[in-house]
Amino acid sequence: MEKAEKSQLVTKLNAAFKSAGVVVVAHNNGLTANQVLDLRNKMAAAGATIRVAKNSLVKLALDGTDAKGIASYLTGPTMLAYGADPVSAPKVAADFAKTNEKFVILGGALGPQTLDDKGVKALASLPSLNELRAKLLGMIQTPATRIAGVVAAPAGQLARVMNAYATKAA
C-alpha cells in the first residue's frame, strides 16, 4: 500500500470513528474467508460495518475521536466493527463469537467510554433502537379500553374477594 493510500485510509477510518456510535475490536485469527464474508453480511444487514486494517493505521485514525481508548486492544490480528446504532455491531459480534471460537471480542468503545469484552457483551444484550421503537409504537397503539381493563383488574379482584367473604359469613 502506498503512502497516499494509507493516508486516505486513515482519513476514512477517522471519519467513520467520529460518526460511529459504537466500535468493537475483536481478534480474528484463524477465520476462514467464508466466515469473514458471513460476518460482513450479517454486519451489513444490521447496519454496521466490519473492517480489517493495520493496527498502526487504525491507531493513527483514532486520534481526535471519542474511541481513542481502544488503542490498547489493537495488538495482533484484529478486526473492527462499527455502526451508528450502539447495539447492532456488538449484538452481531457477540452472536458470531458464540458460534466461532476463533473470533474473540477484546473490547470496544461506546462514545468516549472504553468497554472491555464483558461491557460489549452486556451492550449486545440490550434491545436495538428499532426494537425499542417497535415496543413503543405497540404501547402507543394499545387501545385505551385495554389499559383501563388492566388498571381496573386489581379493584375487580378485590371486590370479588370481598363478595366471597361476605357470602361465606352470611
Crossing angle of the two packed helices 33-45 and 88-99, in degrees rounded to 10: 150
What pLDDT was estimated at residue 2? 87
Q: How far apart are CA 11 and CA 57, in angstroms?
A: 10
Entry pTM: 0.72
Block means of pLDDT (10 residues each) for the chain, length 170 residues?
Answer: 87 90 91 93 92 91 89 91 89 92 91 89 82 77 64 68 73
Domain 3-126, classified CATH 3.40.50.10860, yes or no: no
C-alpha cell at 35: 466466515
What pLDDT was estimated at residue 92? 92
Q: Find the distance separating the first CA and the last CA of the chain, reported in whole Å.
A: 94
C-alpha cell at 37: 464474508
**Per-residue CA distances from 3 to 49, 71, 78 (Å):** 24, 22, 21
What pLDDT was estimated at residue 133? 80
Within a 13 Å sphere around the CA of 17, how many CA atoms are in the beta-carbon half? 28
